[in-house]
């Protein structure tokens, strides 16, 4: 492994950074958000046409009746440490991860 990162015990490890979430597949369950300690993604509302309405504030916000469903959106990709916890809990496999040595700074 070239340009590898190492764990505390010296084992080689390559972080896999979250770069995108497929909005057509995501069901907005929030499992990824719950396991992410870095707040890389947040819940957003989507209307009937598939347009993103904005972040959900956690209250019963229906975006003036326009809310059709909710999805997770990567809105702070730079915070990701590449641990992979989010992909392990995603029931829809809708996330894209890229190896740290392939991501531009």
Whether 62 shows a pLDDT value over 90: the answer reads no
* Domains of the chain, residue spans: 20-102
Total-model pTM: 0.86
Strands (E), 23-81: 41-46, 52-55, 69-74
Task: Please state which of the four CATH numbers 3.50.50.60, 3.30.70.20, 1.20.1050.10, 3.40.1360.10 is assigned to the domain occupying 20-102.
Answer: 3.30.70.20
Nearest to 83 by CA among 37, 29, 24: 37
Q: Express each pLDDT in 12-33 by its tens digit.
A: 999 999 999 999 999 999 999 9
């Amino acid at each position: 492994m070239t340009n590898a990162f190492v764990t505390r015990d010296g084992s080689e490890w390559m972080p896999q950074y979250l770069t995108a979430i497929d909005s057509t597949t995501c069901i907005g369950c929030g499992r990824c958000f719950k396991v992410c300690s870095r707040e890389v993604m947040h819940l957003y509302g989507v209307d009937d046409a598939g347009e993103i309405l904005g972040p959900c504030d956690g209250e019963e916000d229906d975006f003036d009746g326009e809310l059709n469903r909710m999805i997770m959106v990567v809105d702070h990709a730079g915070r990701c440490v590449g641990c992979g916890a989010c992909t392990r809990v995603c029931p829809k496999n809708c996330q894209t991860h890229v190896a740290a040595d392939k991501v531009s700074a």
